């Protein structure tokens, strides 16, 4: 199931919105720059905001350069003194207005310089972030390759361990079957010895008086059988010891295999 949340595209930033935001910053005596406009508007790109900020400065500079036409003529009803006074007042008013406009122009030029500095700062920051991102991508790629190589090495070592374990298990099974065969043979031999002993005992009782020589031979035979039994018992004990050692070794290898599996990184 797709859990991606759809992104609602913001409306396109207009020149009017940028101009209004710029005027608000000036009215509030705040620094006017592309970055401050971006913070105030909360959307848009630095390229678009910078373009509209340029048109804002251009329009304001044009309005500042606009001056009210000077009096070319005064009504004839005014006498010469009144005319001179009116011209003087108008000239002083124009000087004051021009001084104010010059001050505002300097402020706007200063703001434009600050804006350019902020844009340069943003571009440098963007370049630095891009460089940092590239370094992180290279580090991630290198780390991924190293992890993949480590996993491959662990897989190869694990396969070797599996082969060794399979060989041990196979050898264990062979020895186990041999042990079962030897145990069956020993039991058969013991039964045969017991049967022979009973038979020999009866035969000895029957022939004891008349066949003393045969009795001695039978006793020798019995001794041989007993020795053979002891040999079989000893051989069985040796097989059991070897079987026990193989079981312990197989158990140790199984523990190593589980440890390798536990520390093996999962494929991402």
Structure confidence at residue 202 (pLDDT): 77
pLDDT in tens, 197-253: 787 777 767 766 666 676 677 678 878 878 877 878 888 888 888 888 888 888 888
Q: How far is CA 241 from the centre of its chain?
A: 51
pLDDT for 66 beyond 60:
no
Task: Compare 182 and 62 and report the one with higher pLDDT.
Answer: 182
* Domains within the chain, CATH numbers bracketed: 15-65+89-147 (no CATH), 152-263 (1.10.287)
In the DSSP assignment, the letter for residue 160 is H
Residue with tokens 């010891």: 241
Average pLDDT over residues 51-71: 68
Q: What is the pLDDT of residue 2?
A: 46
**pLDDT band per the 50, 70, 90 thresholds, residue 192:** confident
Please determine, for residue 81, whether its predicted confidence score (pLDDT) is greater than 50.
yes
pLDDT at 20 (0 to 100): 94
Q: What's the CA gap between 28 and 25, in Å, rounded?
A: 5
Under the banding of pLDDT at 50, 70 and 90, the label for residue 5 is very low
């Amino acid at each position: 199931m797709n859990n991606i949340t759809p992104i609602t595209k913001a409306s396109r930033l207009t020149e009017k919105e940028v101009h209004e935001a710029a005027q608000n910053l000036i009215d509030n005596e705040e620094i006017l720059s592309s970055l401050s406009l971006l913070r105030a508007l909360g959307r848009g790109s630095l390229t678009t905001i910078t373009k509209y900020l340029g048109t804002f400065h251009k329009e304001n500079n044009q309005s500042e350069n606009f001056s009210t036409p000077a009096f070319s003529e005064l009504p004839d009803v005014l006498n010469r003194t009144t005319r001179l006074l009116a011209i003087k007042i108008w000239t002083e008013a124009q000087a004051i207005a021009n001084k104010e406009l010059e001050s505002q122009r300097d402020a706007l030029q200063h703001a434009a310089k600050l804006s350019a500095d902020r844009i340069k700062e943003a571009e440098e920051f963007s370049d630095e972030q891009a460089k940092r991102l590239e370094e992180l991508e290279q580090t991630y790629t290198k780390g991924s390759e190293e992890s993949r190589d480590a996993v491959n090495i662990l897989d190869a070592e694990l396969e070797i361990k599996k082969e060794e374990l399979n060989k041990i298990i196979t050898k264990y099974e062979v020895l186990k079957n041999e042990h079962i065969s030897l145990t069956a043979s020993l039991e058969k031999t013991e039964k045969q010895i017991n049967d022979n002993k009973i038979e020999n005992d009866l035969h000895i009782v029957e022939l004891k008086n008349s066949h003393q020589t045969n009795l001695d031979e039978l006793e020798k035979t019995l001794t041989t059988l007993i020795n053979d039994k002891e040999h079989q018992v000893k051989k069985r004990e040796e097989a059991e010891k070897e079987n026990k050692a193989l079981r312990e070794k197989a158990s140790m290898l199984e523990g190593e295999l589980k440890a390798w599996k536990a520390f093996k990184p999962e494929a991402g």
